[in-house]
Structure 1
Amino acid sequence: MGKRDELIADYAADISGKCGQTPDMELLTRVTIGCGPSIYRADSTLVAGSDPEELERIEKNFLIKKLGLAGGPELAQGIQAVIQTYGPSNPRKHRAVVYYLLTKHFGREAVYA
C-alpha cells in the first residue's frame, strides 16, 4: 500500500469516526488526488478551522475556483457547517476530508466524475 492509499484510509476513518458518515471511497480518492502534493506537506495537509485567512482561501480557491460555486454568504456558512461536522474542537482537520465534506455539502460530486 502506497503513502496516498494510507492517507486515504486515514481520511475514510475520520469521515466515519469523527463525522459519522459512510465515506464514498471513489469520491474521497478523487478529492485526495485533486489536493495534489499538499496532502504530503505538514504545513498544508491540515486546515486551520479557526483561521479566517485559511477559510477565505478555501472559499476562493476551492469552492469558487474548483467547485465553480458563485460567491456569497452561503459559502462561509457551508464551511462552518463542515467544521462543525468534523468537530470544531478537533485540531487535526485534514484538508482532503474538509474538501470531501464541502463537495458533498454543496452537491458538487460531478466535478470529480
Structure 2
Amino acid sequence: MADAEKYLAHVKKYVSSPNEDAVASIVRHLGIALRNRDSALVSGTDPEELKRVRESWLKKKLALTESDEALDAAIQSLMDKMKGDRSKERVTVYYMLAEHFGKLEGLVKPAAAPKAAKAEAKPAAAAKPAKSAAKK
C-alpha cells in the first residue's frame, strides 16, 4: 500500500480530503503502468495523451456518455488547474476527473466478506458415490 500512499500525497495537493479507497483503486487499476515514469504521468500538451485519457479512462472505465467536446473541456479545465505542476501524476488526474463527474464511489469496491463467512456460504460438496471394485 506504500505506492497508494505516495499517490495519495500527490492527490492531497489538489483535494483537501480525498477518498483513500478510491485512490487505492485507481492505483490497482493502473498497476504496472505506474512503474514506468512516462506512463505514470499525463502530458497536458500532448493531444494523443489527452485523447487516451478521454477514451480509456472517461469513456471506458468510468462509462461516461457525454460528448467528446464536453469530456475534452473537463480534461482541459483540469490541465489548466494543474498547470503549475510539471509532473501531472496519472493517479491524480484520474482521481480528479472521477470526482468531477461524480464517479468516485463507483471506483471503491465493497469490503470483501471474511474468509470464514465465505466458507459457510458455500454448500457442502455432495458425496461422490463409491466406484464398484469389481468390473464384470
Asked if 2 retains the 8 angstrom alpha-carbon contact of 1:15 and 1:22, the reply is no
Q: Identify the structure with bigger relative contact order (alpha carbons < 8 Å, sequence gap 6+).
A: 1
Asked if 2 retains the 8 angstrom alpha-carbon contact of 1:47 and 1:93, the reply is yes
- 2-structure distance, mates of 1:68, 1:52: 21
- Consecutive unaligned residues of structure 1, counting only runs of 5 or more, are none
- 2-structure distance, mates of 1:11, 1:21: 14
Tell me the TM-score normalized by structure 1.
0.84
Corresponding residue for residue 79 of structure 1? 75
Task: Name the count of aligned residue pairs.
Answer: 107
User: Which residue identity does 1:82 align to in structure 2?
Assistant: L
Pick the structure with more helix per residue.
1
1:15 equivalenced with 2:22 (yes/no) = no
Asked if 1 retains the 8 angstrom alpha-carbon contact of 2:22 and 2:105, the reply is no
Sequence identity percentage: 30
User: Which residue identity does 1:98 align to in structure 2?
Assistant: V
Query: Displacement of 1:71 after TM fit?
Result: 4.3
Secondary structure of 1:90's partner? Answer: coil
1:109 equivalenced with 2:75 (yes/no) = no
Choose the corresponding residue for 2:36, options 5, 26, 41. 41
- 2-structure distance, mates of 1:13, 1:110: 20
User: Which residue identity does 2:40 align to in structure 1?
Assistant: T
User: Which residue identity does 1:35 align to in structure 2?
Assistant: L
Secondary structure of 2:12's partner? Answer: helix
- Consecutive unaligned residues of structure 2, counting only runs of 5 or more, are 109-136
